[in-house]
Each structure stands twice: as structure tokens, then as C-alpha cells.
Amino acid sequence: MENPIGIFDSGIGGLTVAKAISEALPHENFIYFGDTAHLPYGDKSKESIRLYSKRISDFLVGKNCKAIVIACNTASAHAYDILKKRHPQIPLINVIDPTVEYCSKKYMNQSVGVIATKGTIQSRIYPRKIKKANNTLSITQTATPLLAPMIEEGYFNNNISQTIINSYLSAKQLKSISALILACTHYPLIKPEVENFFKKKVEVIDSASVVAEYTKTLLTKKKLLNNNKTEGHKSFFISDYTKSFEATSRLFFGEKIKLEEERIWD
Ligand code: DGL
């Protein structure tokens, strides 16, 4: 129960998920791995994402993680099934299923939009899974590839970012939706700007908080929660260290953290 939760992403964007998990489960230890050597995943092939995800999950299992959270939509879309087979002994959580479950229970006969990287959109994983869970819903989606690099540069919450966001959200696919899924690790940071565009008439679903609640429920059910009452220990690894990643990590985690380099590829 005291073993850490492993969390991984293509880079530091998944720190939004790590942050939500640390707030929902403050006593848990966790190990975060960001694959900055291969960032971005959003436009890589399925084969590459699978290879990277296998290596990272092996690294986390080698660190005795009691559960693994794939905190990246693109890796969840392409690699969840193969990781499930590779590590059948530990709970594996992706960022898609909890969000699909949330939407399919809450909405009926309505339209739900999805914005994400090209990889996630082209996989059609959200329409397929949501339709399977609730076929009264109609799903529309659009790729928003400029948003992740823009956010990563700290470029949001200003007039120009709002204009880019507005231009993507004006897509005809997103007319008359009741909810919009922010299906990318970076997007919780622009949630207020997205809400602004829809004038609060559309529920903007930030998968980080949905996944954190799901992780809590699952670990409780499996009796894997850490009973210690002290604050959990957190370690952060990235596969290619630069000072700029360390500086940017603050945007995503909300506080200063120390990133360590772990070149699991050598
Ligand atoms: N982490 C990726 C995702 O959630 C976004 C960044 C990338 O393309 O690597 O899809």
C-alpha cells in the first residue's frame, strides 16, 4: 500500500494529472515520468508510442509502482491495450475511460465535443468508446494541434491565445454541443479561456480531475490506499533534461519541483 503510484506522459503536460491526483490523494507516494526525449507524442506513429509506453511502464514497474496512470491521451489511445496485457498484475488507468464513463452517465440524447492532438483524434477512440457506453450521444471532434505547443511555451491567458482558441472552437463540428472534453494533458490550463468562448453554456470537462477521482475510487476498491497520514513523497523523472523543462514544469504542477534525468533509452 505504501508503494508509489506511477504516472507517465510524453512530457510535462501530464503534471496536470499528477497535480490533480496529489490533491485527491495527498498521502500517496508517486513517481512521475515525462518522456521529454520523444515529445510530442501527438503526431508520432502508433508503433512509436507503443514502444515508448512499454519502456516507460517497465521502468515504473521496476520501481515497484502499485498502479500506473497513463496521463497522456495519445498514449492512452494507442498503448493502453498492450500495456494491460504486459502488466496484468497491476491496476492500469488511462485518461480516456474515466472521462467516457463520466460523460456517458451524465448526458443523454445530446452532443459531446472532443478537442485533442491529431493522434488522439485520428484514433477515433473517444467516439468509439462513448458510442459503446451510451449510443444516444452524438460525438463530434476536431484536432487542435497548435494548442499544446502554445501552452507549453506558457503562451495562454492573453488576447492572442484567446483568438487561437476561439478560432478552433468556432469549428462547425462544435456547434450545438452540450459538453466539451479537453482530451489533452495541456488543456486544463486553458479551461477558463474555453469556458469564456462558450459563455458557460457548455460544460468543459477537464479529464485531469475526473481521472484523479477515478484513481481514488479504484485504489479504495482494491484496498491499495496508503494509510500513512503524512504527505506523500513525489519523484519526477524526465528522459531528456533541460532547464526550460524545469521552468515550464511549474506551469503544469503549480509549484516548483525538481526534475531528474533518467535516460531509460540508453
Ligand atoms: N500529452 C499529450 C496528450 O495528452 C499532448 C502532448 C504531446 O503531443 O505529446 O495527448
> Taking residues 115-122, what's their average pLDDT?
93
Over residues 174-188, the mean pLDDT reads 96
Those residues whose C-beta lies under 8 Å from the C-beta of residue 83, and which sit 6 or more positions away, are 53, 54, 57, 68, 70, 92
- Residues 29-54 have a mean pLDDT of 95
Tell me whether residue 184 is one of the annotated catalytic residues: yes
Mean local confidence (pLDDT), 41-50: 93
Query: What is the number of the ligand 1 atom nearest to the C-alpha of 39?
Result: 9
- Contact predicate 119/53, CB 8 Å: no
Residue 24 confidence (pLDDT) = 97
Residue 41: pLDDT over 80: yes
Q: Respond yes or no: is residue 65 known to be catalytic.
A: no
Lining ligand 1 with CB less than 6 A are 9-11, 13, 39-42, 72-74, 117, 120, 148, 184-186
pLDDT tens, residue by residue, 227-260 = 999 999 999 999 999 888 899 999 999 999 999 9
pLDDT band at 153 (very low <50, low <70, confident <90, very high): confident
For residue 264, name the pLDDT band (cuts at 50, 70, 90): confident
pLDDT > 90 in the chain, percent? 92
Q: Which of 72, 100, 112, 190 is catalytic?
A: 72
